[in-house]
Structure 1
Amino acid sequence: MKKDRSITKNYLYNVSYKILTLITPLITTPYIARVLGVDNVGIYNYTYSIISYFVLFGVLGSTIYAQREIAYVQNDKEKTNLVFWELFFIRLITVGTSILIFSFYFPKSEYKIYLFIFLFELIANIFDISWLYYGIEEFKVITIRNFIIKIIGVGCIFIFVRSSTDLNIYIWCHVLILLLGNLSLWISAKKFIGKPIFKFNTVMKHFTPILILFLPQCIDSVYMIMDKIMLGKISTITQVGLYSQADKIIKMAVTIVTSMGLVMSPRIASSFATGDNKQIRRYLHSSFEFIFIIAIPIMCGLVSISDNFVGWFFGEGYEGVIILIKLLAPTVVFLGINSVIGWQYLLSVKREKDFIFSVSIGAIINIILNIILIIKFKAVGAVIASVVSMAIMSIINFIFVKKQISFKYLLSKLYKPLIAAIIMTIIVEIVGKYISVSFISTVIQVIVGIIIYILILFIIKDDIMIRYVSKIKGKKNNNRDND
């Protein structure tokens, strides 16, 4: 029972932080968009995309691997200490190498001032030992740290970023808060680790598994970042700014959709270890049901509220974001599907090769389409490339799991949420035409959309919704009985 409560608490800590990560951009994005302007936002996102590559190659796949290795030995303090310092030494080498390479790169860039500031983000990643806390299941420490960092970061933005000339200050706020936050983790780490101790031969044994886990992360990250860099090279910084803002809204929505992976990944891995394929199928079906009932209305909702939402959220100069959000909206569903099949299933059952293949094909198609479409259609071309490549990835992933899932079952669960979402979209669009552009108007549209969607699902007797409601009622009744 104690273990169950611990899992529940850790889950709540993670969920609470995810909610904060959703709220924070809603607070800061409108302010930054207006104060810095579309061109500076474009420069920030372009330079951040570049540093993200160096962070990616510096960290490799060590975060996920380190978390797993620490978890294996968490009950043995001596082994925990040994594994910790071995993995930290590896990160010191890999991130240090990335810093060295970056030091030769950034002086040649036209944005060298901003890239120099971002150098401290690389340095901050050396001292990121959040993987230690996740491995020993001390989620509370990480969550409190993250909350404090977010709050201080938001405060610094509103205090110090005051005009369009403050882009460098905005970046300094970002990197210094990250660096201080990572350094703060070392204070409480004393309780879990001792003096540095490691052997070179045992350190080297970690490299191969780290690189194996790095490949899917690398390809996936490159795939996500490439659009902005190619836009900056082929088109204009303004187009990068517009695309980045639309992409930011989509990513916020995707966070809600992919949150199911937090619970399902370890369960699928556990079932795989015991050879329980029937249970794996049930978990996969449950994940897809969640995607259908959550991702589809979010996709349609983004399409229906974007005309009103963009106007007050971003302000003048961002009208081009409206069409980008509408075109990018289907990626909420595709990313949800790819999350279930790729991150939840394929990696959990040690089918990394299949996952790497699907992500690689998606990345190649994305790059080819970007080269063809960005020249003529600019940011819209990048959006089309993303949607098409993610759709193809979803198709490939479905082929990989055709023996593990029932397509007939999934189709039977798809059409009712789709019908409800289409009706919801029509009504929300109509409501939007009769109200002015404002925060309150968007809230009204969202509330109307949720009510209509749920109401339609009950009218057409969608069993997924009925089952979720029954579970909630059952838990409430159990709580009353316990009282």
Structure 2
Amino acid sequence: MKEKSLKTNFIYQNLYQLVRIMTPLITIPIISDSFGPSGIGLISYSSTIMQYFLLFVTLGVQLYYNRIIANSRNSEENLARDFWSILYSKIIFGIFVLMVYIIVIIVFIKENQIIYYIQGIYIIGAMIDISWFYAGLEDFKLTSLSNVLASIGVLIVVIVFINDSSDLLIYVFIINIVTVCNQIPLYIRLRRYNLKNTFDKALILLYFKNSFQYLLPTGSFLFCNMITITLLRVFADYFEVGIISNGFNLVSIIVTLVTTIDLVLIPKLSRVTSNYNYDKLIKFLFKNINIQLFLTIPLAFGLTAIMPIFHLWFFGEKFNELVNISPYLSILIIIIPLNTLISRQFILVTNQMRYYNLTIIYSCLINFILGLIFIPHLGLIGALIIRIIAEIYIMISRFKKIRSFSQFEFDFSSIIKATISSLIMYISVIYINFPIENLFIVTIFQLIVGVIIFVITSLLLKNKLFINLLSYLN
């Protein structure tokens, strides 16, 4: 099978991630203005309930199934057998999960049931998803283009049809139905691979059983957010859920931008570890961690600096509380990508599943127990504090594990320099007066000034990570 270029895959993945990042920049202001914090809170909470079930349907999609395909790609017979065994496993269990979800809605949900039913469409889309097949083959072109078209479709619908709170059901339907529609091109393309419809019943059970090891890795970041939103809804109302949901959406956009490279590299890292080339893996990990921190530290400072102006035109005045919680969101922007990087590029590819699952379980327990204590008294701030504590626990646990495997050293000099540059950038952005009435233009100027100051100070401080990043991109 023809080897795909890593750079080509990186381009296609980044094309999709660019659209994925840019689309919310257009849709979030529209839906925030149309639905307000309470409407956003209702959408987010109903989606959260659905996602508890979705976690089971998406078992192993990004981190397990694509590794199976990557390892069987050189044998047409094994490739066909693994593909159909995985797909049948997903569909059979997905139907069961969907039935349980519907029963839960009937029994426990008394208000706005139609929204919860519509959210269930997402489960169907995840059930028939085969993007893992193309990821294992390192063929990101079709999946990326399909997702791009789906995102553009959502964008068009939001711009044309979403005007006020009466359009909430239309919006929920559209964002869920695209998960089904964007699978159509992937199934059509399957014909070129001549995958004979053959499967192994034993493998169906084996893959189903093994995929449960990836329940928490698939949803670690998502699961803690889900717990936080659920507890916040118990002790508060949809308004506060809407505020924190938009905050998490903003963090998610930035995390997606930073961690895009991971999904492209997993198949190659899988082959590296299958050859027991751990020295190469660790060297690769160390380099990426330092470069990532060079990116996330200024992003964190930058978000806090622009939020007082940014939120007014992006979310609207009803979301003023985002200014107060932005420092907490900024901390998550540094920690979450770091945890994700270590997990994907070291813990998971070296198959340390038991350890990883235990740490995620403990972090979720921390999130839940502290949530019961903090949220009733501190509300939004308490919810974010427990999220940070849970992520810090994961981070400390990860580094302890790496040190037990090999010595690990940060490039503290470069990280400190990046922090100094970020602090200078932050002070400059918040104190420079821009005599412009258009808030969007003001934010653009803030971003331009911030980037220029950060780059100049990094050069003046001779930050090694800046040079390494340029080399990495080349």
Question: For this structure pair, what is the TM-score category when the shorter chain's length is used for normalisation?
Answer: over 0.9
Structure 1 position 359, deviation (Å):
2.0
Which residue is equivalent to 1:34?
33
Query: 1:281 corresponds to which letter in structure 2?
Result: I
Question: Does the Cα contact within 8 Å between 1:128 and 1:183 map onto a contact in 2?
Answer: no
How many corresponding residue pairs?
471
Structure 1 position 329, deviation (Å):
0.6
Question: Does the Cα contact within 8 Å between 2:85 and 2:203 map onto a contact in 1?
Answer: yes
| Compared CA separation, residues 368 and 179, structure 1 to 2 (3 A) | same
Structure 1 position 240, deviation (Å):
0.4
Partners of 1:470 and 1:209 in 2: how far apart? 39
Partners of 2:253 and 2:221 in 1: how far apart? 17
Query: 1:100 corresponds to which letter in structure 2?
Result: M
Structure 1 position 172, deviation (Å):
1.1
> Which deviates more from structure 2 when the two are superposed, residues 289-298 or residues 359-368?
359-368
Q: Provide, for residues 34-61 of structure 1, a one-character-per-residue CA deviation record: whole Å limited to 9, x for no partner.
A: 0122211110011011111111112322
Partners of 2:189 and 2:445 in 1: how far apart? 45
Identity over aligned pairs, percent: 25
Structure 1 position 270, deviation (Å):
4.5
Structure 1 position 403, deviation (Å):
4.5
| Compared CA separation, residues 432 and 36, structure 1 to 2 (3 A) | farther
> Which deviates more from structure 2 when the two are superposed, residues 434-443 or residues 103-112?
434-443
Aligned pairs (5 A) from 1:15-414: 15-107=14-106, 108-109=108-109, 110-194=111-195, 196-262=197-263, 265-266=266-267, 268-403=269-404, 409-414=410-415
Question: Does the Cα contact within 8 Å between 1:250 and 1:328 map onto a contact in 2?
Answer: yes
> Which deviates more from structure 2 when the two are superposed, residues 216-225 or residues 423-432?
216-225
Question: Does the Cα contact within 8 Å between 1:432 and 1:441 map onto a contact in 2?
Answer: no
Question: Does the Cα contact within 8 Å between 1:338 and 1:393 map onto a contact in 2?
Answer: yes
**RMSD of Structure 2 on Structure 1 (CA):** 2.2
Task: Specify the SS of the correspondent of 2:451.
Answer: helix
Partners of 1:153 and 1:362 in 2: how far apart? 34
| Compared CA separation, residues 407 and 428, structure 1 to 2 (3 A) | farther
Q: Provide, for residues 70-121 of structure 1, a one-character-per-residue CA deviation record: whole Å limited to 9, x for no partner.
A: 2223233333222222111111111101111011111231231100111222
Question: Does the Cα contact within 8 Å between 1:312 and 1:437 map onto a contact in 2?
Answer: no
Structure 1 position 437, deviation (Å):
6.4
Partners of 2:320 and 2:206 in 1: how far apart? 53
Structure 1 position 124, deviation (Å):
2.0
Query: 1:221 corresponds to which letter in structure 2?
Result: L
Partners of 1:63 and 1:262 in 2: how far apart? 7
Partners of 2:35 and 2:207 in 1: how far apart? 44
Query: 1:33 corresponds to which letter in structure 2?
Result: S
> Which deviates more from structure 2 when the two are superposed, residues 13-22 or residues 428-437?
428-437
Question: Does the Cα contact within 8 Å between 1:374 and 1:382 map onto a contact in 2?
Answer: yes
Q: Provide, for residues 226-246 of structure 1, a one-character-per-residue CA deviation record: whole Å limited to 9, x for no partner.
A: 111111122110000000111
Task: Specify the SS of the correspondent of 2:166.
Answer: coil
Question: Does the Cα contact within 8 Å between 1:268 and 1:283 map onto a contact in 2?
Answer: no
Query: 1:15 corresponds to which letter in structure 2?
Result: N
Which residue is equivalent to 1:478?
none
Structure 1 position 310, deviation (Å):
0.4
Query: 2:74 corresponds to which letter in structure 1?
Result: N
Partners of 2:417 and 2:45 in 1: how far apart? 41
Structure 1 position 277, deviation (Å):
4.2
Question: Does the Cα contact within 8 Å between 2:235 and 2:375 map onto a contact in 1?
Answer: yes
Please give the TM-score of this superposition, normalised by the length of structure 1.
Answer: 0.91
Partners of 1:276 and 1:202 in 2: how far apart? 28
Task: Specify the SS of the correspondent of 2:319.
Answer: coil
| Compared CA separation, residues 8 and 470, structure 1 to 2 (3 A) | closer
Structure 1 position 198, deviation (Å):
2.5
Question: Does the Cα contact within 8 Å between 1:254 and 1:332 map onto a contact in 2?
Answer: yes
Partners of 1:83 and 1:270 in 2: how far apart? 17
| Compared CA separation, residues 248 and 470, structure 1 to 2 (3 A) | closer
Structure 1 position 222, deviation (Å):
1.9
Question: Does the Cα contact within 8 Å between 2:10 and 2:261 map onto a contact in 1?
Answer: no
| Compared CA separation, residues 328 and 106, structure 1 to 2 (3 A) | same
| Compared CA separation, residues 53 and 166, structure 1 to 2 (3 A) | same
Query: 2:122 corresponds to which letter in structure 1?
Result: E
| Compared CA separation, residues 408 and 176, structure 1 to 2 (3 A) | closer
Partners of 1:99 and 1:166 in 2: how far apart? 26
| Compared CA separation, residues 113 and 263, structure 1 to 2 (3 A) | closer
Task: Specify the SS of the correspondent of 2:158.
Answer: helix
| Compared CA separation, residues 269 and 121, structure 1 to 2 (3 A) | closer
Structure 1 position 152, deviation (Å):
1.0
Task: Specify the SS of the correspondent of 1:378.
Answer: helix
Partners of 1:470 and 1:41 in 2: how far apart? 42
| Compared CA separation, residues 451 and 158, structure 1 to 2 (3 A) | same
| Compared CA separation, residues 119 and 274, structure 1 to 2 (3 A) | closer
> Which deviates more from structure 2 when the two are superposed, residues 213-222 or residues 417-426?
213-222
Structure 1 position 349, deviation (Å):
1.5
Question: Does the Cα contact within 8 Å between 2:402 and 2:408 map onto a contact in 1?
Answer: no
Structure 1 position 63, deviation (Å):
5.0
Task: Specify the SS of the correspondent of 2:98.
Answer: helix
Structure 1 position 269, deviation (Å):
4.3
Question: Does the Cα contact within 8 Å between 2:290 and 2:410 map onto a contact in 1?
Answer: no
Partners of 2:251 and 2:237 in 1: how far apart? 21
Structure 1 position 195, deviation (Å):
5.4
Query: 1:222 corresponds to which letter in structure 2?
Result: F
Structure 1 position 17, deviation (Å):
0.8
Structure 1 position 434, deviation (Å):
6.4
Partners of 1:51 and 1:327 in 2: how far apart? 26
Partners of 1:243 and 1:186 in 2: how far apart? 37
Partners of 2:126 and 2:24 in 1: how far apart? 22
